[in-house]
Amino acid sequence: MKNLPVIALAGNPNSGKTTLFNLLTKSGEATGNRAGVTVSAKSAPLKIGNFKAEITDLPGTYSLSPYGGEEKAAERFIKSGAADVVIDVADATNLERSLFLATELAERHSKVILALNMMDEAERDGTKIDAGLLSERLGIPVVPISAAKNRGIKELVDAAWNAVPKIPKPVFSGGEERSRFCRKLAAEVTHGEPAKESFSDRIDRIICKKYIGLPLFFAVVFIMFAVTFSGPVKALSELFVSLSDEFSGVVSAWLSSVGAGKFLVGLVSEGLIKGTGAVLSFLPQTAMLFFMLELLEDTGYMARAAYVSDGLLRSAGLSGKAFIPLLMGFGCTVPAVMATETLDPAERRSVIFSLPFIPCSARLPVFTMIIGTFFQSHSAIMAFIIYLLGILTAYISALIYSKSKKGRAAPPLTVELPKYRLPTLKNLTTAMKHKLLAFISRAGTVVLLCSVAVHLLCSLDGRLRVTEDASESLMALAGGLIAPLLSPLGIGDWRIASALLSGFFAKETIVSSLSVMCPGGLSTVIGQADAVALCVFVLMYSPCAATLSAQRQLLGRKKSFFLVLRCLAFAYIAAFILRNAFCVLVNFV
């Protein structure tokens, strides 16, 4: 890799830069029609024919002026001289805006290629761009492409392969002169009569209104959970559960027939198969949730959600830009924490302190297990309430943090609303596949090891002797230490306490731990009201170890420790209140 030429992909947000990166490198990086999707440089090898190189995807930026985190990251990489060639991915449907960065790159780097992306959309809108004249005026190669349709990619790679220093480029004395040049050049090379009001503009005039945008967002979220937790997806998940149980029974019978000891049979069938299978059985719901989120991303809807949420977030001391890491938290909290690097320091701390309350995908199997056991007939509504509670708690957390810092105001928001686009099935399935593989990888490593460890700890007593009574085991001893503290919440059973301890390493392990320790099902341990408390506690009580590590890098050790205590306090108070509220409601009804 060190001897290969380095090609940097630069460009404005929403220009399709990461889509081109995935196409060239066969990667599965997240894409989306909003700023902030790429928050740090990502590299991968490129091999097309005889051409080999290393591609680096830089954060989207409108200029190289070091104002925000994205601009600083892109400027540092360009200034370092690490790139042999820079490909500037420009949005052909908004050429004037894209040219500002193109002229800056042409000044600062000897080998720059302008990739006019989304040319198919520009032509569909009635816009034609004279690429030859544009190349002549800028002094750099200009290649029309469509990354989404895989058009012009070979020509772009050939241009990168044969890139040579070009004729002197225009030099500007300041930003105003550069802007005037870009405006004049865009008008000179663009021909045709685009529609005065696009389809996206007509839709936005309706859904971006304050009293329509937010209710619509919550309606969309509810539909997402209705699809995820009911119908064919739910039936497929139940099929996975039955297959896992059947496979465990077959393996158990076979091991017994060949003379394996009871301890080994239990370790393999209960610890390995049932423990890991309990998590993997929720793959259909996890896959559908990933698919729906990716669908909303690719259509361009999430940029609108960030825009309409700005007013609400601003009252909590945040801007609509904070919506991006908060949204990423629904997938995994670790990249969401890293995404806060693009925010200003005060807003970054507030978001990091609120992110643990956003329910990540690792918690989904836990919620699915509890809901499927106690609230099967109202699964979609319960899932929606849990996730809504997480969003509300994150908001309250940010509000408390903001009010504790006197004189702090939310930073201004500048957001571009991209055109609505029909996502391709290939992009959706590719993104979903990579996320699912990461989920399965965790189940095959962390969850598997934890399941085995839990089974071993449940099989050994305090003197490390094999015991058939799990209540006398090492796990019962560890869980029994904190179980009394959870008794006011109705979840003071040592098995639940032990599962929550395992959740500090990875939230999915709560499911595998309970499946090992509660072979008769969770309903044999707690009731409905207690299940509500358990859901709420799991939602809030602590980030996983990987998230704490990421938070420690940005906050430091002391603040990270305080964050955990803060989460535990939120979780305990909320679980206590909502459990008792549920009991009152049930008695009243």
Find the radius of gyration of the CA atoms of the chain.
27
Is 351's pLDDT higher than 50? yes
Is 278's pLDDT higher than 80? no
Environment class of 125 (CB within 10 Å of its CB; exposed 0-12, middle 13-18, buried 19+): middle
pLDDT of residue 185: 92
Top pLDDT among 273 and 178 is at 178
What distance, in Å, lies between the first and last C-alpha atoms of the chain?
Answer: 67
pLDDT of residue 392: 93
pLDDT of residue 581: 93
Kindly report, residue by residue over 549-564, the tens digit of the pLDDT. Answer: 888 888 888 999 999 9
| Average pLDDT over every residue of 234-258 | 82
- Residue 399: alpha-carbon gap to chain centroid: 23
Is 165's pLDDT higher than 80? no
Is 576's pLDDT higher than 80? yes
pLDDT of residue 566: 93
Top pLDDT among 161 and 263 is at 161
Is 38's pLDDT higher than 70? no
Helices (H) and strands (E) in the chain, counts: 28, 8
pLDDT of residue 475: 83
pLDDT of residue 193: 66
Own/partner contacts of 492-501, CB < 8 Å, gap of 24 or more, are 493/525, 493/526, 495/470, 495/525, 496/525, 496/526, 496/534, 498/454, 498/457, 500/537, 500/538, 500/541
- Residue 185: alpha-carbon gap to chain centroid: 38
pLDDT of residue 526: 92
Is 40's pLDDT higher than 60? no
How long a stretch of residues is the chain? 589
pLDDT of residue 35: 42
Is 36's pLDDT higher than 60? no
pLDDT of residue 143: 93
| Count of CA atoms in the C-beta half-sphere (13 A) of 294 | 24
pLDDT of residue 254: 87
Is 538's pLDDT higher than 90? yes
Is 34's pLDDT higher than 50? no
User: What is the distance between the alpha carbons of residues 290 and 295, in angstroms, rounded to a whole number?
Assistant: 9
**Rounded to the nearest 5°, which phi and psi values hold at 57?**
-90, 110
Is 220's pLDDT higher than 60? yes
pLDDT of residue 311: 76
| Average pLDDT over every residue of 179-207 | 81
Q: Whole-number mean pLDDT of the chain?
A: 82
**431 neighbors 439 (Cβ within 8 angstroms):** no
User: What is the distance between the alpha carbons of residues 15 and 528, in angstroms, rounded to a whole number?
Assistant: 49
pLDDT of residue 470: 72
The pTM score is 0.70
Is 485's pLDDT higher than 60? yes
pLDDT of residue 582: 92
How are strands ordered across the β-sheet holding 51-57?
42-48, 51-57, 6-11, 85-91, 112-117, 142-144
Kindly report, residue by residue over 66-98, the tens digit of the pLDDT. Answer: 555 566 777 788 888 888 899 999 988 888 888
Is 140's pLDDT higher than 80? yes
pLDDT of residue 31: 46
pLDDT of residue 88: 93
Which range scores top for mean pLDDT: 221-225, 400-404, 528-532? 528-532
Q: How confident is the model at residue 514 (pLDDT cuts 50, 70, 90)?
A: confident
Is 195's pLDDT higher than 70? no
Is 321's pLDDT higher than 70? yes
pLDDT of residue 166: 67
SS3 for 48?
Answer: strand
Is 506's pLDDT higher than 90? no
pLDDT of residue 394: 92
Kindly report, residue by residue over 171-186, the tens digit of the pLDDT. Answer: 787 788 888 999 999 9
In this structure, the number of other CB atoms found within 10 A of the CB of residue 30 comes to: 18
| Average pLDDT over every residue of 136-150 | 89
Is 461's pLDDT higher than 90? no
| Average pLDDT over every residue of 362-373 | 88
pLDDT of residue 407: 61
pLDDT of residue 23: 83
Ordered DSSP codes for 370-405? HHHHH-GGGHHHHHHHHHHHHHHHHHHHHHHHHHTS
**139 neighbors 167 (Cβ within 8 angstroms):** yes
| Average pLDDT over every residue of 312-339 | 80
Residues above pLDDT 70, as percent of the chain: 90
pLDDT of residue 41: 67
